[in-house]
Chain A
Amino acid sequence: DIQMTQSPSSLSASVGDRVTITCRASQSIRFYLNWYQQNPGKAPKLLIYAASSLQSGVPSRFSGSGSGTDFTLTISSLQPEDFSTYYCQQSYSTLFTFGPGTKVDIK
């Protein structure tokens, strides 16, 4: 199975900060990397698919980049509603796997 790692596991930031989260795959997944946001008690929500494509309705302050094994999710200016947990997921293999998550909280 393809293993996914994320860093950091958590971070503290302020409103307006630029935030970057990294995801790494154990083998090349080309650009088949997706990002989800999950708030407590809620289902995950798709933010970015295919490494850099913004899901419909997602604010443009979210962006994704990368290919192969290394990927990043960037929030250009953190808003109050962005304090949440973020997961990466590979869809290159039919045995889907998620990263362990990155929790973004208020500094």
Chain B
Amino acid sequence: QVQLVQSGAEVKKPGASVKVSCKASGYTVTNYGISWVRQAPGQGLEWMGWISGYNGDTNYAQKFQGRVTLTTDTSTSTAYMELRSLRSDDTAVYYCARFSGRLQPFDYWGQGTLVTVSS
């Protein structure tokens, strides 16, 4: 069965970086992309960017351009999201989600990773 398993919770200081992983299983990762979505406490869903599992192409929301990097390691079926220059308002649950291509929905989601930014 399809599973996306994310790394555990992180606590970071302002200005630091965080790297969250998302390990996929149960499907051929090169046939799907991975999107990253975050949710601040009590807030809605915010799309951050996606990476193609086929060729590693990426696309980022303008808000995160220059501060986020998405990568993928097809040998381990793992996607990564690195966010730099963390601020307190980056405190959120970060989700990875699978999609099969352009125009397609996010059909499977990881369990979420809480990133807390605090001095």
A contacts, CB < 8 Å to B: 1, 32, 34, 36, 38, 43-46, 49-50, 55, 87, 89, 91-92, 94-101
Contacts and interface: CB of A to CB of B under 8 A. Distances in A.
Contacts of B99: 91
A53 B111 CA distance: 24
Interface residues of B, number: 23
Contacts of B76: none
What 5 A-B pairs come out closest when comparing CB atoms? A43-B109, A34-B105, A49-B105, A98-B45, A96-B47
Interface string B32-51: 00010100000011110010
Contacts, number: 62
Interface of B: 35, 37, 44-47, 50, 59, 61-62, 95, 97, 99, 102-107, 109-112
A44 B109 contact: yes
Nearest to B57: A94
A1 to B, nearest CB: 7
Contact of A87 (B44, B62, B104, B110): B44
Given A43-B95, A43-B111, A43-B112, A98 B46 contact: yes
A55 B45 CA distance: 20
Contacts of A46: 105-107
A89 B110 CA distance: 18
Contacts of A91: 99, 102-105
B68 to A, nearest CB: 14
Contacts of A38: 45
A49 B92 CA distance: 26
Given A1-B62, A43-B111, A43-B112, A100 B44 contact: yes
